[in-house]
Amino acid sequence: MRKVATYLFVFLLLLSACREPFNPEIEPTDLKVLVVEGYLDTEGLPSILNLSYTRNINSDNSFTPTYPNANVFLESESGVQYDLIPLGNGSYEFAQNISESENYRLRILVDDGSSYTSDLLRPILTPEIIDVGFERNEEGVEVYLTTKGDENADDFLWTFEETYAFRPKISTAYRYDLDLENVILATDENRTDLCYRGELSSDLILETSSRFEDQFVFRQSITQIPTGDERISVRYSILISQKALDKNASDFWEVLRKNTDDIGSIFSPLPSNIGGNIKNDQNPIAPVVGYLSLGTVRQRRLFIGVGDVFPWPKVDIPDYFGCIVEPDTIEFENYKTAFLSGGYTPAIPIFCDTCYDPIGFRKAERRCTDCTLRGTNVKPDFWED
């Protein structure tokens, strides 16, 4: 037994010593394969279908993505057509309230003469999200939800959009007005001390409700926000979308998720093995990557304020490294020289004992005071303070 263990150790040692990067010799042919991705809501909630073409594995970093120019519509078995509106860069919007009792097919008519048709689609009624919440833990904050499957909706896909308010390293309520050649208080329209950023998560979160008693999915983890993350430095919002999938769609997304998580492993499923429910009408055996689903999308929004997770330490943002307020006071006659170029902004007002207005300002680099360089100062319509 000891001899077998010794041989095994030597074999593993030699295997690791011989490992080197694998660069397959692939002919640089044009593998222009259509990629289709989307979940169309049947109750009028605007949803997006994305079309694109694959890139060659040997393409360099200068590769420019290409998108089909197509006429895209959903067609019911009774012959009614529902157009998808092109938004550019391969994105098409669907915002129609359609019957869940009919079956449908998606049709894609590309301007190069090719066309594609989906398998017959039966809308899935997605159950409502029961609850969303968050919990402070050792790593930071975990966002979760609770839901329940049924006989028609067993597999789920969750996606989410994040929006958060943030402040620059050095906050100031003042700005230099080019027309007045003076420093004035900023208005809500041009303030630079509070901004918002939004991000659409690329995470694929999947679960099968039948794995649990009574198909009750309790506190499904959606995302983990590390301690000190800027997203909760002021106020954070997450919009979670819940989508029920049929078994084939669930299998497709699971393969894609594993490929994304395990990329680089020889045991990972290759993209060429990912099929879908879209076919090329002219050549049914031609590869098409993607899966279209049709059904109701359920959404819930959650807000988390920094006071909800107090204390929340601040982590240095690389964009703000080296930010300081200059010690010298800039007086009125020097405002134009100091602030006209826009590289520096008035940061801290300086007052005398009997002055109502500032007698001058200390300056700081604009990158340290102007949050609009990293976001927008326009509050989202859905925002709740």
Query: pLDDT value at position 54?
Result: 80
- pLDDT score, position 260: 66
Count of Cβ atoms closer than 10 Å to residue 219 Cβ: 13
pLDDT value at 256 more than 90:
no
Per-residue pLDDT reduced to its tens digit, 74-96: 999 999 999 999 999 999 999 99
Beta-carbon count within 10 A of 363 CB: 25
Tens digit of each residue's pLDDT (9 = 90 or more) over 196-228: 999 988 888 999 999 999 999 999 999 999 999
Q: What is the pTM of this model?
A: 0.85
pLDDT in tens, 301-346: 999 999 999 999 988 899 999 999 999 999 999 999 999 999 999 9
CA dihedral 324, 329, 333, 338 (to 10 degrees): -10
For residue 23, is pLDDT > 50?
no
- pLDDT averaged over every residue in the chain: 88
- Mean pLDDT over 353-368 rounds to 94
- Pairs from 282-285 (Cβ < 8 Å, separation ≥ 24): 282/114, 282/115
Residue 341, token pair as written in the block: 């170029």
Query: What pLDDT, on the 0 to 100 scale, is given for residue 14?
Result: 38
For residue range 112-171, what is the model confidence (pLDDT) as tens digits? 999 999 999 999 999 999 999 999 999 999 999 999 999 999 999 999 999 999 999 999
pLDDT class for 363, splitting at 50, 70, 90? very high
Given a cut of 90, whether residue 299 has pLDDT beyond it is yes
Q: Is residue 233 pLDDT above 80, yes or no? A: yes
Instruction: Output the six-digit token pair for 288.
Output: 């098409």
Q: State yes or no: pLDDT of 56 exceeds 90.
A: no
Q: What is the DSSP string of 38-70?
A: EEEESBS--EEEEEEE---TT--TT-------E
User: What's the rounded Cα separation, in Å, for the pair 34 and 40?
Assistant: 18
